[in-house]
Chain A
Amino acid sequence: MTQIDERAALKKFLNYLLLIVLAIIILAPFFIGIWTSFLPTMDIAKGNLFSTNISFDNYVAAFTKTPILRYLLNTLVISTITMIAQLIFCSMSAYAFVFLKFKYRKTIFTLFLITMMLPFEAEIIPNFATVKQMGLLDNYAVLIVPFLTSAFGTFMLRQSFMQTPIELKEASDIEGLNHFQFYWNIVLPYNKISMITLGAYSFLGSWNQYLWPMLTTFSNNSRMIQNGLKQLQSEETFNDWGMIQASAAIIVIPTIIVLFIGQHYFKSGMNEGAVK
């Protein structure tokens, strides 16, 4: 009996050891990045990573000497507007596909599915020409307007809306609710989790944009954070690892916090919307 206990204990120990080693490997880039963000660049350049000259100097420098706050503000505004717009327009079109009967419904839905097959990356040439003609270059609008809605979001919400009990529709018909009221007062609250999932998804999607803002913005007034980081990193005066790491840390810490808070929703939502 004790032998079995010992074996079980050893197995448990090895399990934890493996779990910890893997966690260390996965988190190592964070630890290294965040640790060096507290070190003077001189020490980093000398390879003295165990330096004890820890300070917030790099952070102060990043905030005062670079436009990183402006980049963050731009990105926050653009991502928030994109998120709200997608929540509205995707839920509206999803509602139409689930609760409205109209001609060519199937055809239009198929067209939505087809747009999910067309990568935005392959359409940058005409899209660039379009936004240039609309006079949107180097402006918040150019980073928002093409992403006001998404076929994926519509599809995801449609799957979720279809689970709304038919009794709710019948009850609201008896109450005399029109489609706007049913949509706003019943369907949206009922599908809160899917809405939150889509919200997080579209916010992060916008936050992580890279190629499109790189093509369409040229000044700090509208540059988004990902491209801003590249800008800082490639500027000659900014060959300063300590400050680069600090700027990366400034950006990553808020998203990690949001992620921890939203993790529950992410997990259940992604499995529901995508895989179920």
Chain B
Amino acid sequence: MLKTSTTDVVPEKNVQAKQRHGFRLTAKDKYFASIFLGPSILILGLFVFYPMFKTLYISMFLTNTLGKTTVYVGFQNYAKLITSPDFISSMWVTFIYVLAVTVLTIALGLLLANLSSQKLPGISIFRTLYSVTMGVSVAVAAIFWLFIFNPSTGFFALLSNWLNLPVVNWLTSPTNAMWAVIITTVWMHLGFTFLILLGAIESVPSTLYEAADVEGASPRYQFFHITIPMISPTLFFVSTITIIDAFKSFGLIDLITKGGPTNATNMLVYRIYKDAFYSGNYAKSSAEAIILTVIIAFFTLLQFKFLEKKVNY
């Protein structure tokens, strides 16, 4: 059922153009291209490209409290950052967080995906249950876990009391606060990672496992020598996604620790936000934002490299 529109009756003289329409450059295509692409180019230009250059520009100046640039200083803001112990500790904290979140999310996601790829009755129920955290937003995750971590009335505190164990100060000790943020992040990401990995494991040809069964290979051997190599492209893809997401973490930190205690969870994006919108130090914040951009761009490029191998464009 093809609808015909009265607004776009092809005039006689265009019949020729239509016949060689195929994939040749035509004036008509140019006209359509500007209509189809225009809105997206406008929005991306205004809210992605322009601000990127502007941020780069600000990062090379000193700024006053209104955010106006005053004196050109070149790369001095960057030099100041990389020699400031405060910033280095922030980067360090960010790296530890990203590493822990990525390793734990992938390891647990693999465990869950591998377990629930078995052909057992009722397995689909477990698949649904394991993917549930995909529906959880930052604020909800933070509230659920804040209650669990709460030192006086929280679930962990109660558990410790029942078991006669000392109560752990989850949010007041620097190391534990970091763990609290890591645990919450991993929990939030797990559903998504699980689903992607499950999809990959399910698409491994079953003949490979059947052959291994005939040879008498143990499930463990099959996991490390068939499953892992076969899903390695997907593993790589989820890893880069998790790394990028973790570098951009903001909500959970703002809700759970506010970067504290004593900057123990003051990660890169939180720092960018605070330096700009609390301290009014726009130049410093911009330099930090550019550093974040370089990191994210690097991992996104890695991902593209992988996509390039998998998809033709």
Contacts and interface: CB of A to CB of B under 8 A. Distances in A.
Interface of A: 12, 15-16, 18-19, 22-23, 26-27, 29-30, 32-33, 36, 44-45, 47, 49, 89-90, 92-93, 95-96, 100-103, 105, 108-109, 111-113, 115-127, 129-130, 145-146, 148-149, 151, 154, 158-159, 162, 172-173, 175-181, 183, 185, 207-208, 210-211, 214-215, 225-227, 229-230, 233, 241, 244-245, 247-248, 251-252, 255-256, 258-260, 263, 266-268, 270-271, 274-276
A256 B153 contact: no
Given A181-B3, A275-B237, A108 B48 contact: no
7 contacts: A26-B132, A96-B32, A102-B29, A123-B55, A126-B51, A130-B46, A179-B28
A225 B233 CA distance: 36
B161 A93 contact: no
Contacts of A122: 52, 55, 272, 289-290, 292-293, 296
Contact of B8 (A44, A154, A181): A181
Contacts of A120: 47-48
Nearest to B44: A115
B196 interface: yes
Interface stretch (B16-24, B82-90, B204-212, B222-230): B16-24
Interface in B5-31: 5, 8, 10, 18, 21-26, 28-30
Given A93-B36, A148-B39, A245 B290 contact: no
Given A180-B5, A181-B3, A229-B139, A108 B37 contact: yes
Contacts of A145: 43, 47
Interface string B276-288: 1100001001100
Interface of B: 1-5, 8, 10, 18, 21-26, 28-30, 32-33, 35-37, 39-41, 43-44, 46-52, 54-55, 58, 67, 111-112, 115-116, 118, 120, 123, 126, 128-141, 143-148, 153, 155, 157-158, 161, 187, 190, 195-196, 198-200, 203, 233-234, 237, 247-248, 250-251, 254-255, 269, 272-273, 276-277, 282, 285-286, 289-290, 292-293, 296-297, 300-301, 304, 310-311, 313
B187 A126 contact: no
B148 A29 contact: yes
Contacts of A90: 40
A229 B144 CA distance: 12
B47 A102 contact: no
> Which of A121, A146, A229 has the most chain B CB atoms closer than 10 A to its own CB?
A121
Contact of A19 (B2, B126, B131, B139): B126
B29 to A, nearest CB: 5
A26 B129 contact: yes
A149 to B, nearest CB: 4
A177 B10 CA distance: 9
Contacts of A22: 111-112, 115, 130
A268 to B, nearest CB: 8
Contacts of B133: 26
Contacts of A32: 144, 147-148, 155
> Which of A16, A118, A247 has the most chain B CB atoms closer than 10 A to its own CB?
A118
A129 B296 CA distance: 23
B46 A248 contact: no
Given A124-B273, A266-B195, A15 B118 contact: yes
A116 B43 CA distance: 14
Contacts of A180: 5, 8, 32
A207 B277 CA distance: 23
Contacts of A15: 115, 118, 120
Contacts of B18: 173, 176
Given A26-B187, A29-B187, A123 B115 contact: no
Nearest to A102: B33
A181 B8 CA distance: 9
B253 to A, nearest CB: 10
Contacts of A115: 44, 48-49
Contacts of B276: 124-125
A72 B162 CA distance: 38
Contacts of A29: 141, 144-145, 148, 187
Shortest Cβ-Cβ A-B pairs, 9 listed: A123-B51, A210-B251, A126-B51, A122-B289, A126-B54, A229-B139, A96-B36, A259-B135, A102-B33
Nearest to B283: A125
Given A29-B144, A117-B301, A154-B40, A226 B138 contact: yes
A115 B43 CA distance: 11
Given A211-B273, A275-B237, A259 B134 contact: yes
Contact of A275 (B49, B200, B248, B300): B200
Nearest to B297: A117
Contact of B143 (A89, A207, A229): A229
